[in-house]
Structure 1
Amino acid sequence: MLPLPSGQYKVVDISLPQGTITILGRAVAWRCLDNFSGISLPPDQDLSLEGTPFTFSDMKNKFTVVGCDAMATIQGANGSYISGCAAFCVSKKTVVEGVCSGVGCCQAPIPRALKRLNLSFTSIRGQIGATQDVPWDPCSKAFLVKEDEYVFTYDDLISNMNNQNRTVVLEWSIGNQSCSEMDSKNGTECKANSHCYNSTNGIGYRCKCFDGFEGNPYLSPGCEDINECKGPNNPCVHPNRCKNTIGGSICKCPFGMSGDGTLRGTGCKKVELLEIILGVGLVMVLIVFALVLWTYWLLKKRRLARRKQRYFLQNGGVMLRQRISSQKALAKIFSSEELKKATNNYSEDRILGKGGYGTVYKGMLEDHTVVAIKKSKLVDETQIEQFINEVFILSQINHRNVVKLLGCCLETEVPLLVYEFIPNGNLFYHLHNDRLGSISWENRLRIAVETAIALAYLHSATQFPIIHRDVKSSNILLDENYTAKVADFGASRLVPYNQTHVTTLVQGTFGYLDPEYFQTSVLTEKSDVYSFGVVLVELLTRQKPISHDPTNDWKNLATHFITSVEHNQFLEMVDQTVLKEAGATHLNVVVQIALNCLSLKREDRPKMIDVLVELNALRRLLKQHMDDQTPEHHLEFYRKEKMAYTGSSSNLIKLDEDDDSMESHLLIDRNLSSLALE
């Protein structure tokens, strides 16, 4: 017996897999018309599940109404109608036994999570009674019954159904929380070889054995494996060929037969001799093919390893490894597989940019470090030792305005260089992209100062002066704070100790290339100064260094700039943002700095440190809010600032010789400490 709030009910069936219990009870309610007073009386039956873990099964029960003028509804807690149906009778001829479609009997589904039958009866015609040839019955009946259990008969219209027992299916659930909520606490009550699933009819959860297991999932030891090979449920055509497995079974066919061996599958069929021969032959062919593939893969792997080793030796890998181990350098030697994986096999969508010297890819290392990987187009094999020396020196540069070289890969035909990744694009993109807003003059001047700091540092503050050789706006990267970082040292050269220049093959970018270097192949730090002058003109004019516009009467920006200044037409070239935000003092000073940098003779150009001093003084002037003072006062302030710094320019940038790791810094003296790194 099952104790419920409304009484004791006989249990007919319990289904653990479905989480249901079937009970037998008088789940009947009625409403009758009193012969004398005409008052409707309430039902005296009430099947309530409140306060229990049970709910009426919405999938296995039907709400049924029997009567000739009856409409019964189930009401919710707030009085709203949530289910119901209406039954009518016109005459006996219209009543069809066994059919509950609205004539004398109707059925309707019940809502989910129903725990109480709160019924409401209504007479559609204003009375409950018989029609012409239906015996008068003052009562309408409503009850809950298991689906397909009740068969309607004509006698039910005129009989008292109160004494008839009906089967009702209840569903249970544990608690009022879901499986995930219980797992996050102390776990569910589900035992071994079972799983938890949320109740679909209300709140809480249930337990169910895994497929191939049986038992009570709520009690220890839980569900146990079903031995399908024993008993009448053996799934195999040949029962003695059945092998039980945990949670299932395997059926095998005897020799000379094929199939899945199961009763519900293809069974076992005899195999002809020809089929056996063909099968064995096919297996042999597959084995030979697999051996050939394995041998090919092994040979290819060995060839690849030998090629990687050859490239590693050819590219100076042993030399670099010795330099790293002996001097505790920061450079890392990456494997080709590591960089291939980082760039998704050098996928096209990982390309950051292409240039004259190669392609730059965005990559992510195994430690989730985002890097930029430069894949060069060519390398001079006679300069390998020089290349290794430059990689070693460049990897030790640790400066806020220089993109750090993290290491290289020497296992490829052309060495790969790995740099830190700068996320905000380059100066060229921000200057010449019309979709972006114009850069303010203050930011342009700051970018120029930071670029000058980086170049002055490379020229003066390292153990061996480094000439960049390809200074241009696309090689000036901007980080998330728009701090300038000089990048792409693929064409850079180290200047030997006590030398002021080197002789090389001419490399660089047209529009930025030092004309004297182009003619003589003699490379000095003044070549970088010339290129920096072109960048200054770009910042002033927002014009590209080489014009491809057929409407322009000039092709080279540097030449056009010099000519415009000579003819006093420079203001026509200046970007509108600069004209609005920069004063006459700023324009005059920057124009003069650019002209000095663009001198055709290298001896007429200033050193990078001198350019930095002037730009710093100009930036200091910008930070002085002197809008109320005269241009002459501005110019006097600039001259004083410049003279204050020029006297100590020899100490402006130096190398911290006590730093064994060669992490270099730009050291500004007491006059410039508040300027250069602001």
Structure 2
Amino acid sequence: MANHHPMLLFLGLAVLALQPQIAAASRRPQPPPWCPKKCGGVDIEYPFGVGPACSLSDGFSLECVHDTPQLRLGTEQQKVKVLDINLLHGKIRTANNISWQCLQDKQTGRLVNSSWTGLDATALPYRFSDEDNRLYAVGCNVLVFLNGSVAASGTNDPILNACISTCFGNGSINAISNGSCSGTGCCEMAIPRGLNSYGLVFSGPLVNNSWPGNNWCSYAVLMEAHSFNFKASYATTDEFSRKNHGTVPVVLNFAAGNKTCKDARMRDDYACVSNHSVCVDTVDGQGYVCNCTRGYTGNPYLTDGCIDIDECAARNHGCPDGMICSNFPGGHNCSCPEGEHNSNKSGVLICEPDLKRYSLPVSVIIAIGVTGGIAIVVMSILSSYLVHQRRALADIKRNYFKRHGGLLLYEELNARKSNAFTIYTEEQLEQATNGFDESNVLGRGGHGTVYKGWVAASDDLVVAIKRCKLMDERNRKEFGKEMLILSQVNHKNIVKLLGCCLEVDVPMLVYEYVPNGTLYHLIHGGSAATAAAISFTTRLRIAHESAESLAYLHSFASPPILHGDVKSSNILLDESFMAKVSDFGASILAPTDEAQMMTMVQGTCGYLDPEYMQTCQLTEKSDVYSFGVVLLELLTGKKPLCLDGPEEGRSLSARFLAAMRENRVDLILDEQVKSEASGELLEEITLLALECLHMRGGERPAMKEVAERLGGLRKLHQHPWTQDVVELEEVRCLLSDSPESISFEVDATSSSGY
């Protein structure tokens, strides 16, 4: 052994180390040669296959029925038509049915629909592509819910999103334009990453007897975005469904396995078996796909499936005229014929005769000088280009800053003697979030993402940075003015807006960081036992503090501010578990004229003011109604909207109003509330909730009155010296026992609160 060469010993050990991977690749069965390569006009490539042993797994097995490839999805084995397979990008296009709802009888309001239609791909290897697909709703005054699940860390988490399309009057219908799917006659919504199953549910027409003309139908579908081109006629006719024959394409991402590349390489069923293949993790981190390395093409799932690309065989192989192209595995070279050498003249590579041996040294010096001059010119051109690009980027940022009202905001802030509001640069916020790193994400959704960050300050201030995806044109024009007003909002029960960044297409907002989660998660996020243990004293205090903040926005801010999206997930809890109302940065200033009253329908299902849904006029009484729903959550421990039950029982506010009419409200109140609150106190607070939920906004109390009445009820219920301490310790214990209840989500029903 002592005589063996060290290099031979090293090679022997390397071969032994590679044996498990070689053996794993050799054990993976390959498809038999008789497997069909086509079905109709669609190429069928492994890992997909038609017939026994022709596919990688059951999830990739296709059926060829009447020259049409079909795929079975989910536990119900739904059959979908396959339109195209993009092997190297890990995508498959299938046909998807358009869902519909029609008014069968305009006099009685009877509806027929295809509710709960959708696709189920919960079993690997499929996910609906969030890059390629969007949810579209077409028609007038229609509300569509997307109810599904998202794959995350081996679980399927439920999600619920909504899309609203409105048409208020003939003037609104006539204003619909081709290609504009902005909420009038058509709405679109991004889908969450990792969506693996969904169903579509229509909620009846938002306004009764509002169906235009004789078209009493509306449509909704999840489909490939670049295949959808909205036409104004879609909103008032059946052209959208008829033109597409009831089906449209939808894109699915597939994965060869449910492991990451790092873990998959160690398994016997590793799918990237070809030489010169490479493993690529999927974007949602729930699997991997295979590809060929650069310079190779073919099928990485087959043994020796990746073959070298002969660049020299192509007409445009990249070598200049007169040069010889030499192919080698993974690439190619360009060389000159014998007796010539390559030369770069005026930036063009050419072949020139070699210099004779007897050439004078002066000619060599000249050649070197010319080459050096060319190099200097090239470097100068490159430097000029980089300077131009840097100036162009600065111009773009300057235009964004000006368009968002940054000049006015900057001048007004400088005029103040003391101001805690800061205008941040994009580089500052990138540094604060480590380049918007995924590990700093507090919550995400179809409208944007919230990051945790540390801005450079005397003590490294912790902040929450809201990075939105979209902004309508009205908000762009008024953004600087609204920031100036919102920066002056200062109340202990309102999340402080610390600053903004204006030099990007959609401005980013910077809030104070509130660490202890949302009221929604305190009530609904933990176990049923934990939620039930929240004392009545705690619930009453949080209700009072939230009402105080809304009363401040309505009555003491100048000009008054309407929140527009009051809900329990927009009420945060700080270090002392004091309530802080958030997301008022998305609010609007109180309208000053009739034109400003009309706006897009905004808010969250379950909390929406029914009068606002009829008129599209957002008032302070709309916030009062939404607060009434939050008060019901605190009193009952139930969610504001539940789609699992019968239609008449889905809304918490509707169930409460029915219980009040039938004098059986005690049946829906939380047991903890009934056991701790006196009968007189319960009667007063349920009466207050009833007044807040009045169908006519003019009959509802103002938020200032609501806050005063809740303050009086607190004084009536709690001991002034000891109750606050006991209550604080009780909330701390609840949250320490259920750390999983403090989480951040962003969707139509629950958000990060920012």
What TM-score results when the alignment is normalised by the length of structure 1?
A: 0.48
Larger Rg: 1
The two structures have a TM-score, normalised by structure 2, of: 0.43
Q: Report which structure shows greater RCO (CA 8 Å, sep ≥6).
A: 2
